[in-house]
Structure formats: C-alpha cells, structure tokens
Amino acid sequence: MTLYQEYQQSRIAPPAIAKNDLVRMRIGQELNQITEKRLTILVAKNGTGKTTAVRHWDHYSPHKSAWFTAAQTDNDPAIFLELFIAALQTLHPQVGQDVFEQLRSENRPPIEEILKGMLGQLGMVLSQFAVIIDQYEQLRTTPVQNLITFFIANMPPQCHLVLISETEPTLPLAELRSADQLLELRGPFLAFTMEEGQALYNDVFKLQAAFGDITALVAGAKANAANLKYAGLALRDNPEAKSFIEKFEGADDATYQVTLDVLLPRFSGDQQRFLLLTSVLEELHPELAAAVSGYDEAGEWLAQWAEAGTLVERTTGPGTWYRMHPFIRQEFRLRLRDTMARAEEKLNLLAAQWYRGEGFVEQAFRHLLAAEDLQGAADLVEAYAMGYLQRGRMFTVEHWIASLPQLLTAGRAMLSVICAWIMIISGTAKGVPHHLENARNALQKNPPENHDEVLGYITAIEGYLAEKLGGETEGQHL
C-alpha cells in the first residue's frame, strides 16, 4: 500500500480514541437518539469535543457505522464520491462497485438513477447503521452539498447520517426538523458541566483537585473541552498548581497562552523548533515531517506525543498519520511568521516536493501556491490535469486553472489546451477557439519539451470541433 492509499484509508476509518479523554455519558445518552433520526448534526467551534463524543458513542454502540473524515480535496464531487463510496463499502463490500463504470459509460443512465441503485445496495445492510462525516465544514461546494442532500432524501430507513461540523450545514434542515427527523447538538450542550470537569480532573487525570479549583478551571476555560484537557496536562507534576489556576481563571481569552507557558518548557528546543517548522502542514506523517523539518526523530516524537495525548493526535487507529492540535498549530504558525517568515516559502516547497513524489497532487499544488511558486504550480497542472479530466475530476482542474494568473495560463500551450478541454467537457464551444489560438501562439513563442504531444491535442480538438459544429459558427450546437 502506498502512502497515498494509506492516507485515504485513514480517512474512512474511525478516529483514534485519544488518551486523557473523558467518556461523557450525558452526551452519549443524547446521541443514542441517532438511530431514531434520519440526520444528526453536531455544530460547534473547534475544541468542543464533537468528534470525541461521537467516537465514544460509536465505540460503545451495538450498531455498525461508516466514518468519512472530509478534507478540502473532497469539494470535487468525483473525489468526494470515490471516498464516500469507499466508506460505505466498509459496511458492505458490494455497495457502489459499479457506480464509476456506469458514470463513464457512453449510454449512462441519469446520475440520480445510478445513485439510487447504490443506495438500494446499501439497503442490504439490514440492521440499523450510521454514516458519520467528520469535518463537514470542509465541504463547501454546491455539487457536493447536492449529493449529500440527495443521499439524505433517498437513503434506506435503517441508515442514519451524522454530520460533525464547525459551521452550519447548508442543507434543508427545516423539513427534517418539522418531521422530527433531526437531532441537533450545539455548542452550549457540548460545554463541560462542573460534574464532567470533576470527572476529567480527578478520574482521568488523577489530580484530586478541590471542587473550588475545578470550578475556576471550568469557568476559565469557558467549558471548552480542549482547553480543559490542556489545563489538566499543565497541572500534572506542577509544583505551582495554585498559581497556574489563578492565572488560568483570570486570563479571559488567553487561557491557551497560560497553558502553553507551562507546557512548552517541558519540550526540548529541538522539539519546539520541529513544531515551528512543521506548522505549515495540515497533516503529519513521519517521513513528511522529517523531510520538511530535517529531524530524523520526527516519527519517534509524533508517536510519543500522541500516546501521551499532547500536541498531536493520530488521525486513526495505530496508523502513521497525525494532526497537530489546532491551537498548538495556530500558536506555532504565528511564531513562524513572526520569527522566520522567509523560511515559510522554503518549507512549503519542501512539503510540495514530498507530496508530489508520493502522489498527493492536490496537496502539492496547495503548497506550491503557498510558496508563490506559480511556475511550479503550472508545471504540476500540465502534468496531471489531463489524467484528472479523464477520471471526471473536472472541478479540481477548474480550481487549479482559476488559481493561476490568466497571463500565465494564456502563455503556456498545455494550459491553454486544458482550458479548451474543460469547455468541451462542459458542453459549450464558447471560448475554445480563443484558447486554441493561445495554445498555438505559445507553441511558437515558448515551445515546450512535449511540443508534438501538445500539437496533437490541438489538432484533436480542432477535429472534434469541426465534426461537432459541422462548420457552424462558434457557440452553436456543441
């Protein structure tokens, strides 16, 4: 299995159960209603314990479940559908096996008919089950939202969808609410109670804290789960616990900083520099982190910290993908920009190089843009766009093209050819001759190494237009 395949598999597996997390029975009891509703949403800001609560419920539930952790790349409906079907196949391996074959067929039926057939296959899972989408806020595009709306409307009655999101889902919630088919858990309900704070500090962290101190901590943390957990880590083996609690309670919105002032000195200078350099990464793999930071100890440190429940978390099970805790990453991102702003470009280039070498094309493109390496980003698009178009990933290719300056696109023959293909696939000839003219001009002014291949594409498109248009004027009957 390649690292890319391992990464994709990690996104359709349940998140790891982290150390130092409290099983909150109050929320678990509420989540037991999941199997009574078509849709459950948990909407609250980061660090409120949404995913942890659902993960604990799922762990102890007798029902089957499929997990899907969304990412920015899933805003392409083709990529989303691939991963979503892969998640459903963890429930039943036959679900959706022929979907993409049907979608690529010349005589394909309407996509709604194909998806209804897939959902009918999902009905083969006879018992109650949940489909859980975490980080739902990453899914912002209309085509993907439409797919999820269609899923909700047509899923079998034993299926129950759970969305975990930092933002309000743009879905027809009113209809489900009026039909009593919607369970909603939001920030105020997810906030820690004093009793839960007491259980966290005395049962999980074994601090034997006084109730007055727990009250001060819960109030200072504004009942935020992540903030309370890190306060617990800071209190362990802390000879100045009383002073810390007083500062924490009075810190208002700066409680994370009070906690970091205690925690970070426990890590070596090299470890803090490692966190600084890898803060440009949304996800961490030992090889990726080592390539970007230069520290061969990356894998050892990541595993050690995840086991201790601090700084990072495993994305799933005992795997090798990790994620820096959001406020830790935010802190070190700010430090990087304040102290080593010029290094950020190099770090992003190192990340892009590693990602491209391992087949993570979308991530490589994102880091090239972050490094402001537009020529490198254009090279990547030219290398991969045609393959993506053949696989139906037009939304991603359109995003790539839109992210590049128009002058750069027009000045490179292959990019102009890609623009022409996008228009043809979209079903309109408007603008295609203009892009072909740009492509021919670019071939003359800046002939690429694959000159003959690009010329072949241009000739093929011109032949396609001549056949489809039958000599008619631009924009008709394509």
Task: Tell me the CATH number at 278.
Answer: 1.10.10
Chain centre distance of CA 270? 29
For residues 53 and 135, membership in a common domain is answered with yes
Provide the CATH number for the domain around residue 162. 3.40.50.300
- Beta carbons of 205 and 232 less than 8 angstroms apart: yes
For residues 17 and 108, membership in a common domain is answered with yes
For residues 413 and 441, membership in a common domain is answered with yes
Both tokens of 342, joined, read 């010029």
For residues 171 and 94, membership in a common domain is answered with yes
Tokens 């990529």 map to which residue?
79
For residues 435 and 390, membership in a common domain is answered with yes
In a domain, 475, yes or no: no
In a domain, 395, yes or no: yes
Segment 129-150 mean pLDDT: 95
State the Cα–Cα distance between residues 434 and 465, nearest whole angstrom.
13
For residues 110 and 10, membership in a common domain is answered with yes
Expressed as residue numbers, the domain containing 459 is 362-469
For residues 216 and 117, membership in a common domain is answered with no
Task: With cut-offs at 50, 70 and 90, classify the pLDDT of residue 19.
Answer: confident
pTM as predicted: 0.91
- Beta carbons of 90 and 134 less than 8 angstroms apart: no
Task: With cut-offs at 50, 70 and 90, classify the pLDDT of residue 109.
Answer: confident
For residues 332 and 237, membership in a common domain is answered with no
Does residue 325 have a pLDDT over 60?
yes
State the Cα–Cα distance between residues 395 and 387, nearest whole angstrom.
13
Segment 398-418 mean pLDDT: 96
Domain boundary residue, one of 190, 222, 248: 190
- Report the DSSP beta bridge partners of residue 112: none
Task: With cut-offs at 50, 70 and 90, classify the pLDDT of residue 254.
Answer: confident
Give me the number of domains the chain comprises. 4
Instruction: Using alpha carbons, list the distances in angstroms from residue 3 to 10, 316, 355.
Output: 10, 14, 10
State the Cα–Cα distance between residues 462 and 478, nearest whole angstrom.
13
pLDDT at 252: 78
For residues 229 and 177, membership in a common domain is answered with no
